[in-house]
């Protein structure tokens, strides 16, 4: 099979799951004949019809609420946020209604909320956000943020089959920039499992989403300087793969965390705490982080490039850390 983009991999996952199980439906804005703002759902309406591809008014709270109601009758809705930034409009519905139902009154909500996220495409402050941490802080949700077509397809399938509400972040910078050959047969990737992208001895770089590619590039540059970095792609942020994180830190004794999300309250802080609790005596240096600035995502390319982490920033931080 020819290699496919991340966008195509996500599209395949939706098609294949809707083919496999008539309880799976899609709901969102412009996802029908138009095929969605990024064309992830192109052809979906033609194949499955308007009963299963439900186009809605611009009402994010209604989209999430209706999806949740459908899930209570045993459907498995996939709700699209046209841009994941707009999930702020239905924050209450997601965090108070959808997320708490199982804990409080035993109501599972098997639904997926997916949408394009992330910067680097000059989308400006309202089309570039990484709002994952608002939701990582919400018990009851699962949060997935893949970096490759293979993972995106396999994890989205797992998300659709999961009995819990899952937020699925699709980094739009990666949509059409990377390609990968995918297995022809049905496969899934387990939720909550990190993957080692590059083995190394000198330090661990923990990352996810588009930054996984930045970090692999940085690791190649570091190799030329004689620093052997291990790169781990978290893939799932909630639940975190604590075992994989601690095992790698115990092996390399140094930890650098890289994320595109803003710094304060980003997942780096949580991971640093986990490592202090579980592997403090294995550390040979301070836990470091490379993140975006604590600002909104600015629009001008010169500003956004300054805002985002990049290979040079990761290499600099890793080089410093390696000296300990």
Partner 1 sequence: MSPSYPAAKTKTSAAPALTRDTHLGLYYYMRLNRAVEDQMVKLFRQNKIVGGLYSSLGQEGISVGTAYALEKRDWMAPMIRNIGALLVKGVRPRDIFTQHMAKFTSPTLGKDGTSHFGDLKNLHIVSPISMLGDLIPVMTGVAMAGRYLGQNIVTMTWIGDGGSSTGAFHEGLNLAAAQRASLVLILENNQWAYSTPVSKQVPLRDLAERGRAYGITSVSVDGNDVVAVYRTAKSAVDQCRAGDGPVLIEAKTHRMRGHAQHDPAEYVPKEMREYWEARDPITRYEKFLTENKIWNAADKKEIEARIEKVLNEDREFAENSPMPPPELAEQGVYCDGCHTIEADWQRPKSEVTPPKTTFDTTLQVKDFGGIDQGFNVPTETVTGQTEPPPIKKSAKPAQASGNGASAPASSKSSAAKSKSAKAPVRKGRR
- Rounded distance, CA 162 to CA 154, Å? 12
Say how many residues make up the chain: 324
Contact between 78 and partner 1 by CB under 8 A: the answer reads no
Binding window for partner 1 (CB under 8 A); candidates: 17-25, 114-122, 196-204, 285-293: 17-25
Distance CA 272, CA 224 (A): 28
Q: Which residue, chain included where needed, has tokens 């099979």?
A: 1
Tell me which of 17, 29, 41, 52 binds partner 1, using CB under 8 A. 52
DSSP alpha helix (H) spans, the chain: 6-20, 44-48, 60-72, 91-92, 101-105, 132-136, 149-161, 210-224, 242-252, 267-279, 301-307, 311-322
Whether 6 contacts 40, CB under 8 Å: no
11 touching partner 1, by CB under 8 A: no
Catalytic residue among 102, 127, 137, 213: 127
Residue of 75, 160, 205, 315 that binds partner 1 (CB under 8 A): 75
Contact at 8 Å (CB) between 85 and 127?
A: yes
Residue selected from 105, 184, 224, 226 as contacting partner 1 according to rule CB under 8 A: 105
Taking 3-state DSSP, the helix, strand and coil percentages for the chain, each rounded to the nearest 5, stand at 40, 20, 40
Contact between 235 and partner 1 by CB under 8 A: the answer reads: no
Minimum distance of partner 1 from residue 205's CB (angstroms)? 29
Candidates 16, 39, 88, 108: give the one binding partner 1 (CB under 8 A).
Answer: 108
Binding mask 22-41 for partner 1 (x = CB under 8 A): xx-x------xx--------
Is 204 among the residues that bind partner 1 (CB under 8 A)?
no
Could you tell me the smallest distance in angstroms from the CB atom of residue 163 to partner 1? 4
Residue 25, token pair as written in the block: 């439906």
One residue of 28, 36, 65, 120 binding partner 1 per CB under 8 A: 65
Of 137-145, 228-236, 251-259, 276-284: span binding partner 1 (CB under 8 A): 137-145
Residue 102 among the catalytic residues: no
Strands, E assignment, 118-211: 142-144, 166-171, 179-180, 195-198, 203-207
Rounded Cα distance, 220 and 155, in Å: 27
Residues engaged in binding partner 1 (CB under 8 A): 19, 22-23, 25, 32-33, 45-52, 54, 56-57, 59-77, 92-93, 96-97, 100-108, 110, 139-140, 142, 163-164
Q: Which sequence positions are flagged as catalytic?
A: 127
């Amino acid at each position: 099979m020819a290699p496919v983009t991340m966008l195509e991999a996500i599209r395949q996952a939706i098609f294949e799951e809707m083919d496999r199980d008539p309880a799976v439906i899609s709901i969102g804005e412009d996802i029908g004949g138009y095929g969605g703002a990024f064309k992830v759902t192109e052809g979906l309406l033609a194949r499955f019809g308007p009963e299963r591809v439900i186009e809605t008014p611009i009402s994010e709270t209604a989209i999430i609420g209706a999806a949740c109601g459908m899930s209570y009758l045993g459907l498995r809705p996939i709700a699209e946020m046209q841009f994941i930034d707009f999930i702020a409009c239905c924050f209450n519905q997601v965090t108070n209604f959808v997320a708490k139902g199982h804990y409080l009154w035993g109501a599972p909500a098997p639904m997926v909320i997916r949408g394009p996220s992330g910067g680097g495409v000059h989308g400006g402050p309202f089309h570039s956000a990484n709002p994952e941490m608002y939701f990582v802080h919400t018990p009851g949700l699962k949060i997935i943020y893949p970096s490759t077509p293979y993972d995106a397809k396999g994890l989205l399938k797992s998300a659709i089959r999961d009995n819990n509400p899952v937020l699925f972040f699709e980094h739009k910078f990666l949509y059409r920039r990377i390609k990968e050959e995918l297995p022809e047969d049905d496969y899934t990737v387990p939720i909550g499992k990190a993957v080692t992208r590059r083995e190394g001895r000198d330090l661990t770089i923990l990352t996810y989403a588009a930054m996984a590619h930045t970090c692999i590039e940085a690791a190649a540059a570091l190799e030329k300087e004689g620093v052997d970095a291990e790169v781990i792609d978290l893939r799932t942020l909630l639940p975190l793969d604590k075992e994989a994180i601690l095992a790698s830190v115990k092996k390399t004794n140094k930890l650098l965390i890289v994320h595109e999300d803003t710094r304060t309250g980003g997942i780096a802080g949580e991971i640093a705490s986990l490592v202090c609790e579980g592997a403090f005596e294995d550390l040979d240096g301070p836990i470091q982080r490379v993140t975006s600035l604590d600002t909104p995502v600015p629009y001008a390319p010169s500003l956004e490039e300054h805002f985002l982490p990049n290979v040079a920033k990761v290499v600099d931080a890793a080089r410093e850390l390696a000296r300990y």
